[in-house]
Chain A
Amino acid sequence: MSSAVTEQIRKEYGAVHAALPASVIEPARRAEAIERLCAQGLPATREENWRYTNLRVLEHARFAPVETQSQAVPPLPEALPGFVRYVFVDGLLRSGAAGSHPGLTVRSLRTPGPSSSAAWGPCPDVPEARLALLNEAFATDALLIEAHANAAPAAIELVFAASAGAQAGASYPRVHVVLEAGAELTVLERHMGAPETASLVNSAVRADVGENAHLTHYRLQQCAPRTAWFDTLTAQLAAQARYHLLTVGTGALTARSTVHVRLAGAGAELALSAAALADRQQSHDMYALSEHVAPNTRTTETFRGIASGRARVAFNGKIAVRERAGGSDSRQSLRGLLDGPEAEVDLRPQLEIYTDEIRCSHGATAGKLDQNMLFYLLSRGIAPQTAQHLLKWAFLEDVVARIECAELRRQIERDLASQMSAAATLKELL
């Protein structure tokens, strides 16, 4: 079955490769990516880190990049103060503030330009990163964001929208974020699409956070209901770098995000907060590997997921502490809420330790709404449905409250409420 799909990929690649822009990725590297992907095969649910992903959608997917560019952009969310916005439609940069932000270089690699100091090397040879190979082979555009040493804090918003014409193929968002030493940057990534779009989106994002630099990275997965969204994020943190990654997923039919963060410099810190809200037949799956390579590194991981209807929410959080990572500290708090007899939540905390003298605290629980809390609210006259909405809301607040930008937080809260069909009952909170 999988080989039939790789054959399909090879065939589609053969048909389009000559037209793929060399400035985004060199042809030789694309060809190599295809070879590696086909040699390894696509991920399968029998593999332990893909167990919870809905991979069937790949069987009928079209992999060649969408060609139509005439379609209208779906309505965009309100702009956020202080953020400079770049809009990609079906993977291609459509609009973005040209010109320069002080201390910041942002450019699409579709237009050839000076090569960057920070290269995005080939995909690591790990089975979890395979879908990044697919991106490497087909990407039609890539955005390079460089925050220069000790630049003033800046904020960038990237909107990846799938158009109604995207049924005819896939799109491949690709972003490389580089923070030089001491830089401070906020990147907001939104993935969305026209409601009727049933496309495949396969994004690859890489972040290099330099010494003492601080990257705040918000990722919102709000794809159209029939979209299949796959994503591979790799990040490398230098000494004393801080990376705050916060993801909120509400959209898509099937969504899988693979995150691999290497804490490569002493004292580097990762704060990963993720929330998922899935209903109906949705499946939201995230695999996050935090790899402590250097001493005194720190990971704080928080996951809150709610599955309603026949949805499935999975979070597989692995923290690996290598030999030289003494003095490191990791905390993991994973919680799932089962909202309905047919819903499924799978939480998998994993800890792999190759050294002593580390601290870690881990907890994972999945369960139903707390009946004591529910009754307390009812006993104050609150309607059962409102009480349930309120408790789900409160559950996700563990993640949402960490969003420092108040405007963005409100947008996300409104989106979560409307996903829960609770916009009316929770209006006082929005």
Chain B
Amino acid sequence: MLKIENLHATVDGKEILKGLELEVPAGEVHAVMGPNGSGKSTLAYVLAGRPGYAVTAGRISFQGQDLLALSPEERARAGVFLGFQYPVEIPGVNNVYLLKAAINAARKQRGEPEVDAFEFLTLVREKMRLMRMDESMLSRGVNEGFSGGEKKRNEILQMLVLEPRLAVLDETDSGLDIDALKIVAHGVNTLRAPQRSLVLVTHYQRLLEHIVPDRVHVLVNGRIVRSGDRTLALELERRGYDWLIGEAA
């Protein structure tokens, strides 16, 4: 599904990713963990194609195609979804419009007709129930005045409605209380499927108790320094990151 080789990326001329390697097969959930500032969000943004994040070397292939050759909107339409660490508020653009425009953009790409209005609302309502979100949120501006937890749930709602091939969730667990965490985790789990891959970027292993990953990778100083099964997350919980930072240096 996703194969990253020797990825080097700079932000404002500063190299943040320094030869990152990562492979996520279809149907698997991988966690990327690491200390603050290690480059996790940078990786997520590079995957989504954010301007200002320059790839200076390396390759990213997604479903066999060159992801780096695609613009951000083309990546999204091809099935890449980024759940933002800090979802953006867009007053004046309402949530339901965004959802519909996003769905239709992907459908158009696939040569399908626009979504039927009734079908669309039924789908959105169902997913909102799953995320325990109030329907009144639909008519509000995108993330406008949402609490931190509501914003994260809204990211997952969008993901559920869009049904991406590859979802990269950047610290979706941060700022969530335990109940909200369970709701979010449940939402994510409903999307696990053989033809879909998930990358969970997280700082703590708390989320991984609810969304059990197939693999865990540790990102330190712009590189994956260790990979393992879910027990690696538990080890990190116990020992912190310092021992790996030492090794990476």
A interface residues with partner B (beta carbon < 8 Å):
371-373, 375-384, 386, 390-391, 393-395, 397-398, 401, 428-429
Contact = CB atoms under 8 A, between A and B. Distances in A.
B93 A375 contact: no
Given A371-B51, A394-B93, A429-B97, A378 B88 contact: no
B65 interface: no
B38 interface: no
A16 to B, nearest CB: 48
Given A373-B88, A376-B90, A394-B90, A428 B97 contact: yes
A390 B90 CA distance: 10
A382 B90 contact: no
Contact of B50 (A375, A380, A397): A375
B92 interface: yes
Contacts of A381: 73, 76-77, 101-102, 105-106, 109, 162
Interface of A is mostly: helix
B164 to A, nearest CB: 10
14 contacts: A372-B88, A373-B88, A376-B84, A378-B72, A379-B48, A379-B73, A379-B81, A384-B73, A391-B90, A393-B92, A397-B91, A398-B92, A428-B97, A428-B100
A379 B72 contact: yes
A320 to B, nearest CB: 31
Given A382-B73, A383-B105, A377 B98 contact: yes
B215 to A, nearest CB: 25
Given A375-B51, A397-B92, A380 B100 contact: no
B197 interface: no
Given A371-B51, A378-B73, A378-B76, A428 B92 contact: no
A379 B79 CA distance: 10
Interface of B: 48-51, 71-73, 76-77, 81-82, 84, 87-88, 90-93, 97-98, 100-102, 105-106, 109, 141-142, 158, 162
B101 A382 contact: yes
Given A376-B142, A382-B102, 6 more contacts: A376-B87, A378-B71, A379-B73, A379-B76, A379-B81, A380-B98
Contacts of A384: 71, 73
A356 to B, nearest CB: 34
A357 B155 CA distance: 46
Nearest to B80: A379
Contacts of A376: 84, 87-88, 90, 142
A421 B71 CA distance: 23
Given A380-B158, A382-B105, A394-B92, A375 B97 contact: no
B59 to A, nearest CB: 21
A378 B49 CA distance: 9
Contacts of B76: 378-381
Contacts of B102: 380-382
A312 B73 CA distance: 32
Contacts of B48: 379
Contacts of B72: 375, 378-379
**Lowest 8 CB-CB distances: which A-B pairs, in order?**
A394-B92, A381-B76, A381-B105, A397-B92, A380-B102, A378-B72, A376-B88, A381-B77
A373 B49 CA distance: 14
Nearest to B50: A375
A251 to B, nearest CB: 23
A386 B71 contact: no
Nearest to B105: A381
Most chain B CB within a 10 A radius of its CB, from A372, A376, A383, A429: A376
Contacts of A375: 50-51, 72, 88
A278 B48 CA distance: 34
